Amino acid sequence: MLRARRRRSLAARPWRGALLALLAGALAAGAGPAVAAADAGRATPRIIGGGDVAITAVPYQVALWNPTRGTPLEGQFCGGVVLSATTVATAGHCVHDAEAGGLRPTTSIRVLAGTSHLRGASEPAYGPGVRDVAVSSIALHPSYDPTTADFDAAVLTLAEPLYAGSPAIDGVAAIAPIELLPASQSGSVTAYGALLQVSGWGDTSGGSTYPADLRATNVRVADQQVCGLQYLLQGGVTDRMLCATANGQDSCGGDSGGPLTATVGGTRVLAGLVSFGLGCANGVYGVYTRVASTAIGSFLRSAAGLPAAGTSTPPAPAPTPAAPAPDVAAPTSRVARRTCTRVRCTVRVTVSDALPTAGVARVTGTLQWTTRRACRRDGRRTTCAVRRKRTLRASLVGGTTWALRTPRLTKGVRYRLTVTARDRAGNVERRPRAVTLRRRA
């Protein structure tokens, strides 16, 4: 298994996809202003829509890879989360053998920690700070249901410890455990609209583009009722599941089992594990295993040998990464394609926003052109140039791609379209992109 896709495809059931979209739209329309505002303009999230992240920013992140594929780059299929020096949490479906109906053999899983880069065949071996260890045993949640992905959690026990005094890069931890979000703190942390972060080496295009370097993005907790309706034909969502979404950002295939984290009191805590979804970045919410659920949290703590929630605080063998910095970077856009007919033009642009990002809020275009009209100059009749301008609003059409559609254009007139992106933190693109347009003759 090269890369587990935890996303269930709509392609095989197009009628279901259409029905789900209609049902979700109907519920969102009746869910009140807050839901409607949050869903407006959302089309296709990705880690899709994110950016590269250093392992020292997410030292609890690990990669699961199959050694029969040769290298971590070729063999990575899921993500995981460090719970202790010898235990790693992941999604249940990452260790479940769907064909055999049991667990994958431990020999088909290795855990790579302390690096954000997946080494390929032509690259040198990792240095001493990176750990690549075997798995000695697997604990799958006893109630895991491969049909509905309920109770989608597992714990790997490692053949040797990942750290004994955590490895560091420039004095900052590169491998460190993360605390589990307890049920007592989950109310505000996982409330509707709360900001969370997801990371992994999964598909960045919603197709089959897998990066060698770790990526992360921000998502927001989605409305559980709307999410349940979107997955109605797939068995719905349960109390062990948490839904999240973002405008132009999402987790995808290969991110399974990776961390969904929140910041509590300046410390990162584990709120979820990447579980499943209907496609990637297509407007349908992503589903995560809810760590604060009693059934999930108690299983992870028990299987990893951690104290029960609220009894004591396990010692931190490595420094906790600092809280994420505010979004101060302006987004950038690039014209990907322009298509003109005999009536109007359509321009597609791709927008990127460096981490940490609050997400792209909107993309606008300023269309400028010059017309001529009769006028008088020095008492004589002549023609004068008149400059005109019109503002266009782009729509998100997929991933990080936005489209602007012009009004009807006049034959023979040259138009200049300047595109500007703005993110949700208020940062505006500093060097707007411009393109010249003419309608076809």
State the Cα–Cα distance between residues 153 and 290, nearest whole angstrom: 9
Distance CA 54, CA 61 (A): 10
Residue 152: active-site member: yes
Q: Which of 132, 152, 250, 353 is catalytic?
A: 152
Residue (of 142, 175, 137, 134) closest to 156 by Cα position: 137
**Alpha helices of 202-246 — where are they, by DSSP H?**
224-230
Which one of the listed residues 39, 84, 93, 199 is annotated catalytic?
93
Nearest to 91 by CA among 281, 240, 285: 240
Catalytic residue among 84, 186, 199, 256: 256
Q: Based on the residue annotation, tell me whether 312 is a catalytic residue of this protein.
A: no
**CA quadruple 11, 15, 17, 21: dihedral, nearest 10:** 160
The whole-angstrom separation of Cα 261 and Cα 195 is 9
Residues 6+ apart with CB under 8 A from 215: 47, 50, 51, 52, 53, 199, 200, 201, 204
Q: How many CA atoms lie within 13 A of 273 on its CB side?
A: 36
For the record, the structure tokens of 327 come out as 């979004």
Give the tokens for residue 342: 């005999």
Q: Which residues of 335-354 are buried (b: 16+ CB within 10 A; e: fewer)?
A: eeebebeeeebebbbbbbbb
Token pair of 76 as six digits:
């990575």
Q: With beta carbons less than 8 A apart as the criterion, state whether 337 and 33 touch.
A: no
CA dihedral defined by 153, 64, 357, 245, rounded to 10 degrees?
-40
- How far apart (Å, rounded) are the C-alpha atoms in residues 118 and 71? 8
Q: Give strand pairing partners of 392.
A: 365
The Cα–Cα gap between 413 and 274 comes to 51
* Both structure tokens of 151: 């109770």
Please tell me whether residue 132 adopts helix, strand or coil conformation.
Answer: strand
**Residue 52 is among the residues annotated as catalytic for this protein:** no
Distance in angstroms (rounded) separating the CA atoms of residues 435 and 333: 12
Q: Which residues are catalytic?
A: 93, 152, 256
